[in-house]
Amino acid sequence: MDGITGVEQALRQAAPHLLVDVVADLLRERHGALRVELRLADYALRSLQLVERVPGSAPPVPVHGSPQGRAFGAQEPYVTEEADGLSAHLPVTVRGERTGVLTVTVPQVGDLVPLLADLRHVCEALGHEILVAERDTDLYDRARRAARLTLAAEMQWQLLPGRSCARPEFALGAHLEPAYATFGDNYDWSVSADHLTLSVTNGMGEGVEAALLTNLALNALRNARRAGLGLADQAALADQAVYARYGGAAFVSVLLLRFDLATGEAEAVDAGSPRLWRLRERSVEPVPFEAQLPLGMFEDSVYVPQRFAVRPGDRLLFGSDGVYDAASPGGESYGERALSRALLATMLLPPTQVPGAILRELATHHGDSPLEDDALVVCLDWYGRRGRPDPDFPETGDF
């Protein structure tokens, strides 16, 4: 088989658990590949785990300080010399979602350009097929685990749309900790031709009860959104679903937003504790909204969206209370000043790397003891759409 079409056909015809084997056979035939390895990022984004028949039998490599990690972080190929040839490490990424790294070892070659171009195509096809294959096999999901997930964390990760997404108008990245034992924090997004809808949620409680609560609220929001309802009605129907189940004994905090991809105009419903900060021209400011009732606290709550606007070049940071309320050993909250410093310090990083960097800074602030609450960070970079109005257009409710 020749070209990317042949790779795609071979992968589509393969059994879900044999995708790496098919790629290895193709690359041996095309380029005389000596070794082919696929490593997937673990849930905590600290290591790259080898996809193999018996997960965990080979040691992981760190995301920071390894050739594979360099390719993963930079999202660019990285080539190293080996005793028997060259190893090309290439990111496997699908629609902005950083999945892992494919490493291909080949004998010495005179021209790397055609090799790397072909491997890029292979990685793209492989990434898409892994997303499809995960419906039918646990192989790739098991490979991502550097430790066992708690049941609550299992439930929460299954809700997530991914950890990053990219479109011409925006790019976003998200992460939550403790990755293997998260409770009620979660996020969700959906992109259409005209809008990005984003939610950051925090269900009260701990463990499975918090995960069940968040699961109910998030699926209620999705149900309303997929029915074509506006932002206020999405919040109202999710509020009714939570109240009908818990009668006010449990509730969910949510920050719900909808962005117009053409204009940057946005509306928001602030129903609880998640907060938003904006980095614009090296200035960090909190974006205040009128606080409304958390979902499920009272029967038949009414929600009113507020309007604001984002401009090309804006970076938005969303954080749960597990971030800004996290205390140091001396009792000092992480707070807005530390968040502002962290946001400025990471301004040159792509949005996919910002949440992890801030959560590592948070861990340093918190000290050696584990976090008392789960912590969630979402970073959104806004580029705008070409041909959109001037970035200084009049903005209703601009903060």
Q: Is 349 helix (H, G, I), strand (E, B) or coil?
A: coil
Statement: residue 291 has pLDDT above 70: yes
Q: Contact, 225 vs 246, CB < 8 A?
A: no
- How far, in Å, CA of 202 to CA of 182, rounded? 11
Using the structure block, give the residue that is written with the tokens 């905590």.
Answer: 44
| Parallel/antiparallel/unpaired status of strands 265-271 and 252-260 | antiparallel
Render the burial of 261-290: b for 16+ CB within 10 Å, e for the rest: bebbbbbbbbbbbbbbbbbeeeebeebebe
Burial of 369 per CB tally in 10 Å (0-12, 13-18, 19+): exposed
Q: pLDDT digits over 62-90, tens only?
A: 999 999 999 999 999 999 999 999 999 99
Residue 357 tokens, joined: 């960097």
Q: pLDDT digits over 46-60, tens only?
A: 999 999 988 778 899
Helix (H) or strand (E) holding 72: helix 67-74
Q: pLDDT digits over 161-171, tens only?
A: 999 999 999 99
Cβ count near 5 (within 10 Å):
11
Q: How many CA atoms lie within 13 A of 17 on its CB side?
A: 11
Q: How many CA atoms lie within 13 A of 66 on its CB side?
A: 20
- In the chain, pLDDT over 70 holds for what percent of residues? 92
| Residues β-bridged to residue 102 | 38, 90
pTM (2 d.p.): 0.89
Q: pLDDT digits over 316-331, tens only?
A: 999 988 888 776 666 6
Statement: residue 255 has pLDDT above 60: yes
